[in-house]
Amino acid sequence: MGQIFAYFHPAAGFDFEKAPNVPPSDDEEAARVWEEVSRLLETKKDAYEKLKTYQGNGEIIRESMANPKDEAKQIEGFEGMFPNINRIKSLFLLSKDTNACIQKVITKLSESENEETKAALLKGLASLLEQIFNIDWAKMHKPEIQNDFSFYRRSLEKHSSHPELPVDDAVAGHVSMFVAQANPFIKSIITSLETRKREGGTPEIIPFLSNFTNMCAASAYAAQKGNQCEDNVNMLYAAMTVCIVLYDSLEPNGAFTKHGRIDIKKCINGLNSWDSEKKTQYLNSLKYSTRTFQKAPNSVQKLFKD
């Protein structure tokens, strides 16, 4: 997979703003992957907007719990949960589609030798990772999602024969574990990549993540200094952050080791130099969503306090 970065040296960065926003023209399969990324980005954008406005069913839950022996109230309450359960199910299925798409992008990047194809897919991957961060961050601030699904799952035991179940018992356990995560999309990707790594499907996923992280960090810093579009800088720092979290989970020694593959100090210094309210989200994610931050050298932890 090292040839992915033959044209784009990670430490030097890459001008993502100038990367093509059209399907690669030299490779039909790469074009199909790019189109899938494009469709998924639109779906995720819509999911993110709906997630931000998610309203929990607290009143329905309270009414149902206050009338445990009223069968009509119980059925009414159970069915009243269906719209929100369908929204939650859509997020769960979207995470599955996201995992599959990311695997395809990485595989195609490892196979292609065309610079245009690599540039288009690298930008598509960065955009996907940004959307993943946004959705997980929004979900983290919606505890109503887990409350709603927990109530639905408990009620499902009584109403498992209902003809219009949005989520049946066979799937409910998987969805329940999904919504229980603080970062369900990132956690789902970690699980998917761990499985593929064990099966030998992506033997070089760790060096890929480290190279892509370093590339995003260098590119974001260069974009800042070059006064590029703020949306582009944000995309790069979001992608960088997600990659560090993924890498920290997959690499036994974690992301914060002194002589690791990721230039973690450069990543953090870049965020600290960025004048944006979003940087706090990314720094907090690195502190609280990674596995090995507490074991990081003092010189690294100090960067989070300055």
Angle at 299 between CA 295 and CA 304, to 5 degrees: 80
pLDDT of 2: 47
Domain contains 295:
yes
CB pairs under 8 A, 24+ apart, for 147-152? 147/56, 147/58, 147/61, 148/56, 148/57, 148/61, 148/81, 148/84, 148/85, 148/88, 149/85, 149/88, 149/175, 149/176, 149/179, 150/176, 151/57, 151/61, 151/64, 151/81, 152/78, 152/81, 152/85
- How many Å apart are CA 270 and CA 6, to the nearest integer? 24
CB 204 within 8 A of CB 110: yes
Which candidate, 211, 254, 216, places its Cα nearest to that of 127? 216
Together in a domain, 58 and 133: yes
Angle at 1 between CA 252 and CA 3, to 5 degrees: 135
Together in a domain, 227 and 84: no
pLDDT of 25: 72
Specify whether the backbone of 254 is left (phi greater than 0), alpha (psi in -120 to 50) or beta.
left
Coil/strand/helix, residue 142 = coil
Together in a domain, 99 and 185: yes
pLDDT of 11: 60
Cα atoms in the Cβ-side hemisphere of radius 13 Å centred on 14: 26
Together in a domain, 41 and 118: yes
Together in a domain, 168 and 220: no
H helix runs in the chain, sequence order? 28-52, 58-66, 71-80, 82-111, 115-140, 144-156, 169-180, 184-198, 205-225, 230-250, 264-272, 278-288, 298-301
Together in a domain, 27 and 175: yes
Boundary-marking domain end, from 201, 216, 248: 201
Together in a domain, 53 and 24: yes
pLDDT of 79: 96
Domain contains 5:
no
pTM, full prediction: 0.91
Domain contains 243:
yes
pLDDT of 16: 78
Boundary-marking domain end, from 201, 235, 253: 201
Q: How long, in residues, is the chain?
A: 306
Together in a domain, 262 and 217: yes
Domain contains 1:
no
Domain contains 226:
yes
- How many Å apart are CA 260 and CA 283, to the nearest integer? 19
Together in a domain, 166 and 254: no
Together in a domain, 244 and 287: yes
- pLDDT tens track of the chain, all 306 residues? 445 555 455 665 667 777 767 677 778 888 899 999 999 999 999 999 999 999 999 999 999 999 999 999 999 999 999 999 999 999 999 999 999 999 999 888 888 778 888 888 999 999 999 999 999 999 999 999 999 999 999 999 999 999 999 999 999 999 999 999 999 999 999 999 888 777 765 557 888 999 999 999 999 999 888 777 899 999 999 999 999 999 999 999 999 998 889 999 999 999 999 999 999 999 999 999 999 999 999 999 999 975
Together in a domain, 48 and 164: yes
Boundary-marking domain end, from 166, 201, 236: 201
Q: How many domains does the chain have?
A: 2
Domain contains 46:
yes
**DSSP structural state of residue 228:** -
Q: How far apart are the first and last CA of the chain?
A: 36
Domain contains 6:
no
Coil/strand/helix, residue 112 = coil
Together in a domain, 212 and 266: yes
Domain contains 10:
no
pLDDT tens per residue, range 71-113:
999 999 999 999 999 999 999 999 999 999 999 998 888 887 7
Largest pairwise CA distance in the chain: 68
pLDDT of 152: 97
* Concatenated DSSP letters of 251-293: STT-S--TT-SS-HHHHHHHHHT--STHHHHHHHHHHHS-SSG
Which residues span the domain enclosing 189? 18-201
